[in-house]
């Protein structure tokens, strides 16, 4: 591992290249920023930036001072009027010397400035390379680095809040606390192994069993939060299902009116389904209507049915819609029978019913067929019941609660996998002990759990994992 957890402020990032990239989206905008980090950053800035006034200290580029001037080519020709921000190591994002040219936000301007910076000796940064350096120089741990990306990608309030918590080290703190408890447990078992007390012939692990079980419990709790974390990052995928004319498209539109449509970089509308992303009380929801995919004898159309099944399989939650103003059809019953756990049954069109209430026989039949899944009476036409539907959806997101728990949320699939491995190793330790095998074998498992936890924060992580993780970042971050 090359990480310098205690990188000294006085030690230059020896041997490192100076990297540069455009840090703002390419396009027309108020400003465009070219960011430079590394040992040559200040030299490059001195060569390419002509301040309009001399600074108080004879042109020395002072940290945290914004200077106005011109960006020039290596040959001295003006490229743009700009501000230069200087952040000297170690008080910068990467803990290296960082300069940022804040130019006019035109694609040509920022490209020209970048070209000059490269001509002056910097090399083009890889995606995520600034953040990777921040990690390697001990400025961020890996869970925090992942949170940086989650902050950038957040499209709703709850997603942003969860990402910011982890950027502030919430998940890391939880994981480190678990690691410390494991360390203490390991030390005690080892002490017992090394100095067996002849008078006590019970296993030194014995008294620690409770503590290890408690650690296991906390770990399992943390892993359970990955469900919410993933939904906040990727959106809750909700698929509307039901026979034609029960009101699926009407419900999709009604829900869109309730929430706020989110424009995502990935267009959701496919050939066989309509997908809309909306912000439902701060939670991103991807709503899919597979209308148009009908059960039919026509072989081409039945392809659509297969696709519709795939959508249902991929859903976090299926909204099984029936027409509450009619009795159940055989097709409805079949849909209800096929439902898996993540499903809510919607009886739509209750506005057509006297008093807006489902007839008792229909209600009873729905309860019977829906196997204990939540049942909500709604009207796409009047909006009735949509609030209850949202409550049910949020209960699924927050695993029972109505809003995000105070607890840390696991912030990436990678972290979740590492935590699951840690849990597996703990279980292995219990298995080892219950088979009556020696305690030091259990210690091997405990150490493995400790190492897996360390992967979350990046204390124990391979170069390969790092490369893959940072490759997902944007250039300039």
Which residue's CB is nearer to ligand GDP, number 110 or number 386?
Answer: 386
Q: Are strands 375-377 and 343-348 parallel, antiparallel or unpaired?
A: parallel
Are 340 and 302 spatial neighbours (Cβ–Cβ below 8 Å)? no
Stretch that binds ligand GDP, among 24-32, 101-109, 243-251, 328-336 (CB under 6 A): 243-251
Beta carbon of residue 365, minimum distance to ligand GDP (angstroms, whole number): 19
* Owner of token pair 């449509």: 261
Which residue's CB is nearer to ligand GDP, number 23 or number 293?
Answer: 293
Going through 17-65 in order, the beta strands assigned E by DSSP cover: 19-22, 29-37, 49-51
Which residue's CB is nearer to ligand GDP, number 93 or number 311?
Answer: 311
Which residue's Cβ has the minimum distance to ligand GDP?
247
- 375 lies in the site for ligand GDP, by CB under 6 A: no
- 168 lies in the site for ligand GDP, by CB under 6 A: no
Euclidean distance between CA atoms 2 and 230, whole angstroms: 30
Beta carbon of residue 321, minimum distance to ligand GDP (angstroms, whole number): 7
Beta carbon of residue 352, minimum distance to ligand GDP (angstroms, whole number): 5
Which residue's CB is nearer to ligand GDP, number 141 or number 276?
Answer: 276
- In degrees and rounded to multiples of 5, residue 84 shows phi and psi of -115, 125
Are 407 and 225 spatial neighbours (Cβ–Cβ below 8 Å)? yes
N-term to C-term CA, the chain: 22
- 43 lies in the site for ligand GDP, by CB under 6 A: no
- In degrees and rounded to multiples of 5, residue 62 shows phi and psi of -85, 145
Which residue's CB is nearer to ligand GDP, number 131 or number 348?
Answer: 348
- 246 lies in the site for ligand GDP, by CB under 6 A: yes
- With CB under 6 A as the contact rule, the residue among 222, 291, 318, 410 that binds ligand GDP is 291
Q: Among residue numbers 327 through 356, which ones bind ligand GDP (CB under 6 A)?
A: 348-349, 351-352
Build a one-symbol-per-residue string for 250-269: x at contacts with ligand GDP by CB under 6 A, - elsewhere: x-------------------
Stretch that binds ligand GDP, among 5-13, 84-92, 246-254, 265-273 (CB under 6 A): 246-254
Q: How far is CA 87 from CA 35, 73, 161, 246, in A?
A: 11, 22, 27, 61
Which residue's CB is nearer to ligand GDP, number 151 or number 353?
Answer: 353
Token pair for 463: 């170069």
- Rounded to the nearest 10 degrees, the angle between the axes of helix 142-153 and helix 413-434 is 140
- In degrees and rounded to multiples of 5, residue 315 shows phi and psi of -70, 150
- With CB under 6 A as the contact rule, the residue among 38, 247, 304, 458 that binds ligand GDP is 247
Q: Among residue numbers 377 through 396, which ones bind ligand GDP (CB under 6 A)?
A: 379-381
Please choose, from the candidates 316, 310, 383, 379, the residue with its C-alpha nearest in 3D space to the C-alpha of residue 343: 316
Euclidean distance between CA atoms 158 and 172, whole angstroms: 19
Q: Under rule CB under 6 A, how many of the chain's residues touch ligand GDP?
A: 16
Strand partners, 286: 237, 277
Beta carbon of residue 113, minimum distance to ligand GDP (angstroms, whole number): 52
- 249 lies in the site for ligand GDP, by CB under 6 A: yes
Q: 57 CB contacts (<8 Å, ≥6 apart)?
A: none
Are 287 and 256 spatial neighbours (Cβ–Cβ below 8 Å)? yes
Which residue's CB is nearer to ligand GDP, number 326 or number 417?
Answer: 326
Beta carbon of residue 345, minimum distance to ligand GDP (angstroms, whole number): 15
Please give the full DSSP string across 404-460, using - where no structure is assigned. Answer: --SS-----HHHHHHHHHHHHHHHHHHHHHHTT--HHHHHHHHHHHHHHHHHHHTSS
State the residues that interact with ligand GDP by CB under 6 A.
242, 244-250, 291, 348-349, 351-352, 379-381
């Amino acid at each position: 591992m090359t990480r310098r957890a205690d990188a000294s402020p006085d030690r230059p990032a020896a041997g490192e290249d100076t990297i540069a990239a455009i840090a703002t989206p390419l396009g027309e905008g108020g400003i465009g920023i070219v960011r430079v980090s590394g040992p040559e950053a200040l030299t490059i800035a001195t060569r390419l930036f002509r301040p309009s006034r001399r600074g108080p200290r004879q042109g020395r580029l002072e940290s945290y001072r914004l200077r106005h001037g011109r960006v020039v080519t290596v040959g001295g020709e003006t490229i743009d009027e700009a501000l230069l921000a200087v952040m000297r190591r170690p008080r910068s994002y990467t803990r290296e010397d960082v300069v940022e040219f804040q130019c006019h936000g035109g694609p040509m301007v920022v490209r020209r400035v970048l070209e000059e910076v490269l001509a002056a000796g910097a090399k083009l940064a890889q995606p995520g390379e600034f953040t990777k350096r921040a990690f390697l120089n001990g400025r961020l741990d890996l869970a925090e680095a992942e949170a940086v990306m989650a902050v950038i990608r957040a499209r709703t309030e709850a997603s942003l809040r969860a990402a910011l918590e982890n950027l502030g080290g919430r998940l890391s703190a939880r994981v480190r606390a678990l690691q410390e408890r494991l360390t203490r447990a390991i030390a005690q078992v080892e002490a017992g192994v090394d100095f067996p007390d002849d008078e006590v012939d019970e296993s030194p692990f014995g008294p620690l069993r409770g503590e290890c079980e408690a650690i296991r419990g906390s770990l399992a709790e943390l892993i359970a939060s990955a469900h919410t974390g993933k939904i906040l990052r990727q959106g809750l995928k909700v698929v509307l299902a039901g026979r034609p004319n029960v009101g699926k498209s009407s419900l999709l539109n009604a829900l869109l009116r309730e929430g706020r449509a989110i424009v995502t970089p990935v267009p959701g509308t496919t050939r066989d389904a309509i997908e809309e992303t909306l912000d439902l009380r701060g939670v991103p929801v991807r709503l899919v209507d597979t209308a148009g995919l009908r059960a039919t004898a026509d072989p081409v159309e039945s392809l659509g049915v297969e696709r519709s099944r795939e959508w249902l399989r991929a859903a976090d939650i299926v909204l099984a819609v029936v027409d509450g103003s009619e009795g159940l059809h055989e097709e409805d019953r079949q849909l209800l029978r096929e439902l898996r756990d993540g499903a809510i049954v919607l009886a739509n069109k209750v506005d057509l019913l006297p008093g807006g209430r489902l007839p008792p026989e229909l209600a009873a039949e729905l309860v019977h067929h829906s196997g204990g899944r939540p049942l909500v009476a709604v009207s796409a036409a009047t909006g009735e019941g949509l609030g209850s539907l949202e409550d049910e959806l949020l209960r699924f997101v927050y695993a029972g609660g109505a809003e995000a728990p105070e607890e840390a949320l696991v912030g990436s699939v990678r972290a979740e996998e590492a935590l699951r491995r840690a849990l597996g190793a703990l279980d292995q330790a219990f298995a080892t002990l219950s088979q009556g095998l020696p305690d030091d074998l259990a210690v091997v498992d405990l150490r493995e759990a400790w190492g897996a936890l360390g992967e979350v924060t990046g204390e124990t992580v391979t170069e390969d994992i790092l490369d893959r993780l940072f490759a997902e970042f944007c250039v300039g971050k």
